[in-house]
């Protein structure tokens, strides 16, 4: 069965500093990987996704992620964090069920940004 691990429960960074959120997955086939962000009181918003091709994917809000098959990782990065980036971040892997894909989420990383 597929699984996603986000080792960091909580991360605090200063505004303007760089950010890297870790994600490791376990899945037998080629994974479809996602990063979502959840702000308080709001639904999950897709930041970026990886299906195939270039292993460095660009997303919205200045985020990027790199797929490393050898490390089973899909870490999220941002060069300079803004205070508005404070939120909960979820990494997820999709499993194709035939009719639609089911998502398995990691436990999330809560990002706090200090001014």
Partner 1 sequence: GAVVSQHPSRVICKSGTSVKIECRSLDFQATTMFWYRQFPKQSLMLMATSNEGSKATYEQGVEKDKFLINHASLTLSTLTVTSAHPEDSSFYICSAPGTSPHTQYFGPGTRLLVL
Contact residues for partner 1, defined by CB under 8 A: 32, 36, 41-46, 49, 51, 90, 94, 96-97, 99-108, 110
Listed in order, strand segments (DSSP E) in the chain are: 3-5, 10-14, 19-21, 24-26, 32-38, 44-50, 56-58, 64-68, 73-78, 87-96, 101-105, 109-114
Q: Please, what is the minimum distance in Å from the beta carbon of residue 3 to partner 1?
A: 11
Nearest-approach distance from CB 79 to partner 1, in angstroms: 26
Report, in Å, the least distance between residue 106 CB and partner 1. 6
Nearer to partner 1, 36 or 67 (CB): 36
């Amino acid at each position: 069965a597929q699984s996603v691990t986000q080792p960091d429960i909580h991360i605090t960074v200063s505004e303007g500093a760089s950010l890297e959120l870790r994600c490791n997955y376990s899945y037998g086939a080629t994974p479809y990987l996602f990063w979502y962000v959840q702000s308080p009181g709001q639904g999950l918003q897709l930041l970026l996704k990886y299906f195939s091709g270039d292993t460095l994917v660009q997303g919205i809000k200045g985020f990027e992620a790199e797929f490393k098959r050898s490390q089973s990782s899909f870490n999220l990065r941002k060069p300079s964090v803004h205070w508005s980036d404070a939120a909960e971040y979820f990494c997820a892997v999709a499993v194709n069920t035939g009719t639609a894909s089911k998502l398995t989420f990691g436990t999330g990383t809560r990002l706090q940004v200090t001014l």
